């Protein structure tokens, strides 16, 4: 029972770290997205795509190093991580398009809502990839 509690405690700590990195990365990404969308007048889909690519790179390295305590970077792990983030991108983009085009929610607010639905599955997928030897 104590081992299960320690295991669960470790997962909770990782999830908290994952979210701290995620929120930091997300905040920086949103500033960048708004800059591309509002100042440079890029289409919201193009602005979100550019922002997502930069965010994927940052997330892989930050989560590997700080969340999951792994210095074992590899092309395979990076490639699998990119696939996870492509899944997240598609999921988030679908939600954003739905929010903007169907529900009429603002193009700036919609990307703030979308990650609510993708954080938990992405955490477990990334943990599996990075922790797997």
21-65 per-position pLDDT tens digit: 999 998 999 999 999 999 999 999 999 899 989 998 898 889 888
- pTM of full prediction above 0.75: no
The label of the residue with tokens 């990404």 reads 29
What φ, ψ does residue 84 adopt, rounded to 5°? -60, -45
Cα four-point dihedral sign 29, 62, 117, 23? negative
pLDDT tens digit sequence for 103-133: 999 999 999 999 989 888 999 998 898 887 6
Closest CA to 122 of 24, 48, 52, 22: 22
Domain ranges of the chain: 2-131
């Amino acid at each position: 029972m104590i081992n299960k509690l320690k295991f669960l405690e470790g997962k909770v700590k990782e999830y908290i770290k994952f979210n701290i990195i995620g929120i930091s990365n997300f905040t920086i990404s949103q500033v960048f997205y708004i800059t591309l969308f509002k100042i440079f007048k890029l289409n919201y889909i193009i602005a979100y795509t550019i922002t997502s690519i930069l965010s994927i790179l940052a997330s892989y390295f930050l989560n590997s190093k700080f969340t999951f305590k792994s210095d074992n970077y590899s092309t395979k792990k990076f490639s699998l991580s990119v696939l996870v983030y492509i899944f997240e991108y598609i999921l988030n983009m679908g939600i954003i398009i739905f929010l903007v085009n169907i529900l009429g929610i603002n193009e700036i607010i919609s990307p703030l809502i979308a990650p609510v639905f993708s954080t938990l599955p992405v955490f477990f997928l990334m943990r599996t990839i990075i922790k797997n030897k």
